[in-house]
Chain A
């Protein structure tokens, strides 16, 4: 609080980036965690919340007659331009925001002060929601080929690795330790993904300290062990995700890459993904293109090309495809590394996993994947996402690229993913928001030291509670195209610009209609109608039974035919798949009708409470966004609306 020089500024204008003539006048409040802009012109109270930790930079521009402009760039790609009438006030806001958006200690981060209305017991359970061991046992581990190694239990061998690691059955602790001494930061080869069907595995490590000629017997044994734990294959791939030139340059520093002559039966492969500095600059350039006021098609395409962003996305996806194909089609194990094995390696391994295993394309599986390949294997979130004030050279949008790769895949396979674009965007903004403890710190050891499990909330259970918001209505797990290995096309024209993320706050720019929301609403409606149908049917059966009973009690046996017909009809209907659920729930037809309406009740309650919860917490987190949902009413007003919209866009 002591950093807030001015808690409230009156008469502030918020300019619209797309059409600068449209502006809103209001009051800007600075709180300990958020900047809040309250529009006070129109009758409706319109608020814009911006979390301090999402602020990327604050820029004070030259004052003009109308006031002093303050430009705020956010890490979730929101850009806000305020005009404050008095220079003095603008100066104060500028300084306060600058300090507030750059915490110096972990304790200042939002997650430690974020206290939703959840009691302690529940909070602790949040952290048990995802269990990585369960994922390994889903893959069929441990088994006769792979074992859980306790070697890194106290982070002694590698301080950036997780405590629980899977290694080949034949790898003894001395071999592991020896191998780790020959690898950057002690990051020895460990299992990332294992295919139950053909025993092929994806392993990851950092670069070997080979220099120009150094060898390490244990490291060679380690790779041999990995090769042997895939009994059906007589060689393995070692994939270096760096451009060859970078790898060679590293040799001069005593690092480098595996020499095929020293390792038995490896095939060595470079896949040129550029380093974090190139990626940072590329994203910067790409964002500049996004911010152009009214670009021509040429401006946009030229800018996009010169940023190189899509080229880099393609490189990551290409690498993922190479590995996925090696595992699924050739049945060959792969060892992946880059320099330290926590940026490009994480990208490539997780993209390959998404391609390989339908489980990682489900909502829960995707969370597990990020938890495993990114969080536990020590992707340096705090450095890369600039959580604390630090070295700007460490910042890089590595995880952004992974999320975008998944998005590009979703565009190619709209039915293959259980979750929608909204999940990716939510995860993206929470990686940067520091609202949850999941992405704080740089590795598992740091997280334990910070006591995040004890003091913060987990994003995963938050998402799971609100999962209805993230479900992809087109998801078809049984479709032939969505099973097994995904084979995306990597022709350049398959890569699109993700305006849903990079321009998500420019609402005036594209008034989009969401097919997804529409489908979701239809699905909900269908479900309700089906439930009604079941209850009506039940009522009919009940009435018929009563009638039948009456009839039989009167002993007029001739009049039975309508009942028989009705029963037969009923049975016939029950064969349509949508009737099964209803049939199962109301299994005994003799139950009184009140019972069936009870079945509907809890569902409704759940839904309303869910949406309440999500609304309130959205506001808390400062995501001003996502859904412009009015599922059912939308339909009726659609045409009139789109009229307006269509030509304002054009």
Chain B
């Protein structure tokens, strides 16, 4: 508990707590190594507020006045007492190995490769990945060099109905002088083996993709990947998504209770537009696979944010199993934890924080919002409730890198 050494005063008496929708209450404030505890002194109410220190997003001290130091705590999630967790049997929710062994249909054309055994080919991929049968590990290694962060195309979803697949990767490193990579082309060719074409959904606009070439990135050109048809759908990412969330949270906290102001702030935050874009892009992806009957490759630039977002949503839309409790958690485990979404960077803070970090971005929260929207439209389709989404939202905030610790029995 080296944390505890930072505690200067553990106990403060006579503190007033003001919270929206609650009358102010007076009580004692305690600081422990992990929590901030406020307990009401009045006998009638036994109100306790337990706040995980990790959850504190911003602390402000305002001008001293007669009442004392009003401190503003904004917390980015609910806190609750820890429940008994048994560590066994919690870590094998889903893995590519398990995924592969469950999908017998897959075995004919796809294999499980352990080329990334020591995380040497791609640091953000799991040790085992699913790739086309006809592609050997050497080809994979070469193809990985041609993709940003080594994220070569791997299978993430197999559509049982027509045998089509969703594959995801990062952008190809074509660069300004249009480099090619034979192995990468072979790998993609193997993905659509036997079919006349495939789609590439690029989560950037075509202009953005062109610009990416200047910094060494790029896209799959028509001449080199003749059987693939590229579709560009611009999705917001990174900082501007964070800005959007900040504006949204600010709009929710507006206390003027003015309808016009709320609607214009909501509009201005553009958050719902992002939700709409994400859902419609996922819908497009689902349509390509289900209705058009073609395999799809999804990528943006790094392939760790928007690509995961829409491949997850598309699976949720297409596969009833993913809509069960078990299936959804397994999906998150596969598509977010194992697929290397940088939770630590993306969820370091929340909307109140003044520290505007470059890497901060609420992509995972956007996913949860999209799932919530799906649930609103199809209340009988999901095997879990809003409560799970809320829990996930606060859990990622608290322990970004151990999403999977949480699993309800």
Contact = CB atoms under 8 A, between A and B. Distances in A.
Contact of A304 (B261, B263, B282, B323): B263
B264 to A, nearest CB: 6
Given A301-B263, A310-B263, A490-B257, A647 B318 contact: yes
**Residue of B258, B276, B380 with most partner-chain A CB within 10 A:** B380
B378 A298 contact: no
Interface stretch (A553-561, A616-624, A637-645): A637-645
B257 A491 contact: yes
B351 to A, nearest CB: 15
Nearest to B289: A647
B214 interface: no
Given A513-B378, A646-B381, 18 more contacts: A296-B276, A297-B272, A298-B273, A301-B267, A304-B263, A314-B259, A491-B257, A492-B261, A512-B377, A513-B380, A639-B320, A639-B381, A642-B378, A642-B381, A643-B317, A645-B378, A646-B378, A647-B291
Nearest to B319: A643
Contacts of A513: 377-381
Contacts of A62: none
A310 B264 CA distance: 13
Given A515-B379, A518-B380, A646-B381, A492 B257 contact: yes
A628 to B, nearest CB: 13
Contacts of B381: 513, 638-639, 642, 646
B317 to A, nearest CB: 5
Contact of B266 (A301, A314, A490, A646): A301
B374 interface: yes
5 contacts: A302-B264, A492-B254, A492-B262, A648-B283, A650-B282
Contact of B317 (A298, A493, A518, A646): A646
B241 to A, nearest CB: 15
B286 interface: yes
Nearest to A516: B379
Given A513-B381, A646-B317, A492 B263 contact: yes
A308 B380 CA distance: 33
User: What are the 5 tightest A-B residue pairs by CB atom distance, in nearest-first order?
Assistant: A650-B283, A492-B262, A305-B263, A301-B267, A311-B259
A302 to B, nearest CB: 6
A512 B381 CA distance: 11
Contacts of B267: 297-298, 301-302, 305
A310 B261 CA distance: 12
- Give the interface size class of chain A: 20 to 34
B248 to A, nearest CB: 10
B249 to A, nearest CB: 12
**Residue of A301, A308, A491, A639 with most partner-chain B CB within 10 A:** A301
Given A297-B272, A301-B266, A510-B377, A643 B259 contact: no
A646 B260 CA distance: 32
Given A308-B260, A492-B258, A492-B259, A647 B379 contact: no
B278 to A, nearest CB: 9
B280 A650 contact: yes
Contacts, number: 94
A491 B380 CA distance: 28
Interface residues of B, number: 36
A140 to B, nearest CB: 33
A649 interface: yes
Nearest to A492: B262
B369 interface: no
Contacts of A645: 378
Contacts of A490: 257
Contact of A495 (B254, B259, B261): B259
A518 B252 CA distance: 33
A649 B257 contact: no
B279 interface: yes
Nearest to A298: B267
Contacts of A649: 283, 377
B285 to A, nearest CB: 9
Given A297-B272, A492-B258, A647 B287 contact: yes
B294 to A, nearest CB: 15
B290 interface: yes
Contacts of A296: 273, 276
**Residue of B252, B280, B381 with most partner-chain A CB within 10 A:** B381
A493 B272 CA distance: 13
**Residue of B260, B291, B378 with most partner-chain A CB within 10 A:** B378
Contacts of A646: 286, 317, 374, 377-378, 381
**Residue of A297, A308, A515, A648 with most partner-chain B CB within 10 A:** A297
B23 to A, nearest CB: 14
Contacts of A518: 380
A489 B20 CA distance: 12
A510 to B, nearest CB: 6
Contacts of A310: 259, 263
A125 B290 CA distance: 58
A490 B257 CA distance: 7
A94 to B, nearest CB: 37
A650 B272 CA distance: 14
Contacts of B323: 639
Contact of A305 (B260, B276, B283): B260
A314 to B, nearest CB: 5
A545 B47 CA distance: 57
Contact of A297 (B273, B282, B283): B273
A512 B377 CA distance: 6
Contacts of A298: 267, 270, 273
Contact of A647 (B257, B266, B290, B320): B290
**Residue of A490, A642, A648 with most partner-chain B CB within 10 A:** A642
Given A297-B273, A298-B273, A513-B380, A647 B283 contact: yes
Contacts of B318: 643, 647
Interface in B227-281: 252, 254, 257-264, 266-267, 270, 272-273, 275-276, 279-280
